[in-house]
Structure 1
Amino acid sequence: MLAVLLATLAVLSVVFFMLFRGIHQEMVARAEAEDHLQRLNTELEEPVRARTADLECNRPSCAG
């Protein structure tokens, strides 16, 4: 009976290890994707700001 319990414990340990490793890998991949997206957003902000300023100054009310 003890041998069966120890074998079951060993199998469950391996299964949980694999499960948690997979979850960790997914969390790392998600964090990397979020960082990449944040960098892209930061890079895009300046061109958008510049283009918005150009469009604002091309309006008749900007001519002064």
Structure 2
Amino acid sequence: MNIDTTLEQFNLLHKKAALLKIAASSIGITKEKTDEKDIQLGRSKFGGMPDLPTHLSFPKYENGSLLF
């Protein structure tokens, strides 16, 4: 789907120039469920446990592991 199709769908084609001036650059992210053991050390990921050296433990607080 392109910008013109989306703007037309929402009856905003007449606002295209103004919207393009304020639109922020963005990237698309797709997710793929993968077992933690199948992700190479140091690879980017959302969620899961961090890649820490074996002598370090994940930070904890009163109610358990911290969420970042």
**TM, length-normalised to structure 2:** 0.20
Q: Which has the larger radius of gyration?
A: 1
- More helix as a share of residues: 1
